[in-house]
């Protein structure tokens, strides 16, 4: 295995760690083992509170990042209905509550079909989207007022996996294209139900043909690395 020529790694990113943090940890382990600085890039970030498939490319394989980013992705998400947060997930506290008595399983299933296909979506204000040269989350943290334009994203499938009428929680499976924000989808689902919603959990279960079951955890990675046939010396 030659990390300079390039290897594509499928990592299971843990909860509460940034994608860059996971990348930096893997790069540190590779560099320590290989005795030279290993170039590592990612093919699409996950939010810190999300888990699941994070694709990392080393060496010359970093040239394939753009292609990998375009691959279809699958997520499993749990939404809390009847409340909103500034970030549309649990990074921020609930800021407003909304009625939920009108929400039924039948209405949810009917509503979800309207999100299949090409849809207009406004990215979250707490996101890495650029606004006038600045990251949206940087502006939000400074209390700045700004507008993010809607963009077209493609959603191939949405499936309702579970609905708890008492807790007003629902779980969905989403298959979508590049640039789709599941946090924004949660917000829009809440609005479509004449209520509100935010994510309580999010897991990316697949990127292209790389599934969660094929991923290596950060804890497993040192042992996995020891088992590989490596070219230890710099060529």
Distance between CA atoms of residues 193 and 191, nearest Å: 5
The domain spans of the chain are 8-70+209-226, 73-207
What integer pLDDT is reported at residue 88 of this predicted model? 95
pLDDT at 3 over 60: yes
| pLDDT interval class at 134 (50, 70, 90) | confident
CATH superfamily of domain region 8-70+209-226: Pseudouridine synthase (3.30.2350.10)
What integer pLDDT is reported at residue 127 of this predicted model? 64
Scored b (16 or more CB within 10 A) or e, 122-149 reads: bbbbbbebebeeeebbebbeeeeeeebe
pLDDT digits (tens, 9 = 90+) for 95-109: 999 999 999 999 999
Same fold: 8-70+209-226 with 73-207 = yes
Token pair of 43 as six digits: 């093919």
Q: Which residue has the higher pLDDT, 137 or 74?
A: 74
What integer pLDDT is reported at residue 234 of this predicted model? 47
Q: Per the residue annotation, which of 12, 47, 89, 188 is the catalytic one? A: 47
CATH number attached to the domain at 73-207 = 3.30.2350.10
pLDDT digits (tens, 9 = 90+) for 156-212: 999 999 999 999 999 999 999 999 999 999 999 999 999 999 999 999 999 999 999
Distance between CA atoms of residues 31 and 26, nearest Å: 9
Q: Is 47 a catalytic residue?
A: yes
- Mean pLDDT, residues 44-62: 96
């Amino acid at each position: 295995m030659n990390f300079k020529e390039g290897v594509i790694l499928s990592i299971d990113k843990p909860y509460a760690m940034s994608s860059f943090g996971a990348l930096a940890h893997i790069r540190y382990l590779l560099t320590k083992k290989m005795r030279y600085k290993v170039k590592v890039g990612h093919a699409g970030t996950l939010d810190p509170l999300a888990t699941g498939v994070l694709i990392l490319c080393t060496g010359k394989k970093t040239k394939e990042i753009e292609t990998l980013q375009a691959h279809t992705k699958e997520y499993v998400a749990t939404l809390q209905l009847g409340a909103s947060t500034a970030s549309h997930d649990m990074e921020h506290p609930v800021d407003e509550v909304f009625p939920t008595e009108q929400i039924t399983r039948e209405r949810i299933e009917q509503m979800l079909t309207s999100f299949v296909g090409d849809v207009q979506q406004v990215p979250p204000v707490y996101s890495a989207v650029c606004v006038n040269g600045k990251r949206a989350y940087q502006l939000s943290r400074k209390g700045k007022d700004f507008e993010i334009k809607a963009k077209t994203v493609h959603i191939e499938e949405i499936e309702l996996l579970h609905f708890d009428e008492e807790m007003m929680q629902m779980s969905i499976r989403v298959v979508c294209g590049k640039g789709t924000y599941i946090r924004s989808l949660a917000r829009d689902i809440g609005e479509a139900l004449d209520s509100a919603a935010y994510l309580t959990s999010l897991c990316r279960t697949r990127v292209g043909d790389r599934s969660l079951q094929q991923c290596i955890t950060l804890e497993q990675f040192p042992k996995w690395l020891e088992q590989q046939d490596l070219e230890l010396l710099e060529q």
